[in-house]
A and B are shown apart, each in its own frame.
Chain A
């Protein structure tokens, strides 16, 4: 049986928080470079060049890519044959977030209560999404999520009669209404189906897929291409100052749903698509 200790999870989670905020993954860096080649607006190209320079400085100096180092969203896949030792797994992940945000000089952006709004001081608690999966491994993905883009995300319960056209329109309406606020160029996560909360979770999970990799389902891959072209046709461009690269990618995930439902969730992510994963 494979054992994973509390302290191992604390250290791994802490490192993921820091690395996610300092170092953009190669897929994101490549997407920004390609965007710089594709963009027709001169000011848009200038911004994309600044974003690439920014990523290089952040990685070199251990300084966050963006000062909004987010609330820590953590996806955890627990292998059902795994044995966890030394404490409670949820507490280990929380302790890792606390350590990572403190030791990494990351901004503490979490208030303990949404109405009274007092800062917790250590960026805990994280938002954790659990899955029990086959095997004996523990997979942890940390996705620090900034508020600029999260606040412009949206969910709508469509009528089934609105169908694919309605779903596409809702994605376009959401990106259009967001304009410059979520720091385009975006990665647009779209969740279609399930229930209200399932669609939202699918939209968030969709952001985790490496930028530029096609959807394994050919029909959804075609939908993603259609949506990307339509989003880039809005003219919003880098930072909303006008241009043809409004999004680096659109990622869609779907799930079974009720005969009477068509939930569509759109989770916007800024160009700093921060995610780091470890398998223990």
Chain B
């Protein structure tokens, strides 16, 4: 396997153009957490013509609802949740400059198309590795929607957070390609 590529948000068009399906990355810097409820609120604001509570330009959203932190710890387990639940909201956020998403599982054809249109990438992290991934988080702070508890938007500071590009700006799809490569009866 090739060595992972080190990336840090903000993601530029140039950085994104080098990230192809199958590229392993280590992400360091700031990512925002959001899942179903936060997405619903953000898209409702956009539909009312209002501003988002966070600036998504060139940023990464991580689909995660961490378990509560024990006293003295930064965060609990924090692996990715299923991305498909956010599909219906995603194109509008891409329209606001979102450049990357981390999650797990299939994206819809609309999202895969929008990634090409808006030049953004979808990364998968290892689902169910929540304890391991918590070690990559150096700081966690609620920056919007505190009333949503584990679904609030947190700003996470991560160091060498491992992920892999699944859907790129060229239409590449690692889920489809990987499965085809290893299927016995094609």
CA distance A233 to B183 in the complex (A): 5
In the bound complex, CA of A242 to CA of B176 (Å): 8
Contact digits for A47-60, partner B, Cβ 8 Å, 1 yes 0 no: 10011011101100
Contact yes or no, A64 B182, CB < 8 A: no
A89 beta carbon closer than 8 Å to chain B: no
- What residues on A are CB-neighbors of B24 within 8 Å? 43
B124 touching A68, Cβ below 8 Å: no
Q: Does A226 contact B (CB under 8 A)?
A: no
A16 to B59, CA, bound (A): 40
Verify B126–A180 contact, CB threshold 8 A. no
A13: Cβ under 8 A from any B Cβ: no
User: Which residues in chain A, 190-239, are within 8 Å of chain B measured between CB atoms?
Assistant: 232-237, 239
Q: Is the CB of A65 within 8 A of B131?
A: yes
- Check if B131 sits within 8 Å of A54, measured CB to CB: yes
| Interface pair A67/B179, CB less than 8 Å apart | no
A151 interface residue per 8 A CB criterion: yes
* Contact flag A65-B104 (CB < 8 Å), given A119-B149, A235-B181: no
Is A272 a contact partner of B82 (Cβ separation < 8 A)? no
A63 touching B131, Cβ below 8 Å:
yes
B109–chain A nearest beta-carbon distance, Å: 14
Q: Which of B1, B64, B131 contacts A43 (CB 8 A)?
A: B1
Q: Is the CB of B127 within 8 A of A67?
A: no
Write the nearest CB–CB distance from B146 to chain A, whole angstroms. Answer: 14
Residues of B within 8 A of A58 (CB): 77, 130-131
Q: Is A277 an interface residue (CB 8 A)?
A: no
Contact mask for chain B residues 79-101; partner A; CB cutoff 8 A; 1 contact, 0 none: 10110100000000000000000
Closest to A245 in B: B182
Interface size on B, residues (CB 8 A): 46
In the complex, A40→B185 CA distance in Å? 16
Chain A minimum-CB-distance residue to B181 = A242
The answer to the question of B78 belonging to the interface, with a C-beta cut-off of 8 Å to chain A, is yes
Q: Which residues of chain A in 107-123 are interfacial with respect to chain B, using CB atoms and an 8 Å cutoff? A: 107-109, 119
Q: Is A187 an interface residue (CB 8 A)?
A: no
| Closest Cβ neighbor of A61 among chain B residues | B131
Known: A51-B126, A180-B124. A235 touches B182 (CB 8 A): yes
CA distance A236 to B184 in the complex (A): 10
Question: Sorted from nearest, which 7 A-B pairs have the closest CB atoms?
Answer: A242-B178, A235-B183, A233-B184, A235-B182, A181-B105, A183-B127, A58-B131
A interface residue numbers (CB < 8 A to B)? 40-43, 46-47, 50-51, 53-55, 57-58, 61-69, 105-109, 119, 147-148, 151, 179-181, 183, 232-237, 239-244, 270-272
22 A-B pairs in the complex with CB atoms less than 8 angstroms apart: A41-B178, A46-B1, A54-B128, A65-B77, A65-B128, A66-B79, A67-B67, A67-B78, A67-B130, A105-B68, A107-B68, A109-B65, A119-B149, A181-B106, A183-B127, A183-B128, A235-B182, A236-B182, A237-B179, A240-B175, A242-B178, A270-B127
* Interface residue ranges, B against A (CB under 8 Å): 1, 24, 64-70, 73, 76-79, 81-82, 84, 104-106, 124, 126-132, 134-135, 149-150, 162, 164, 166, 174-175, 177-185
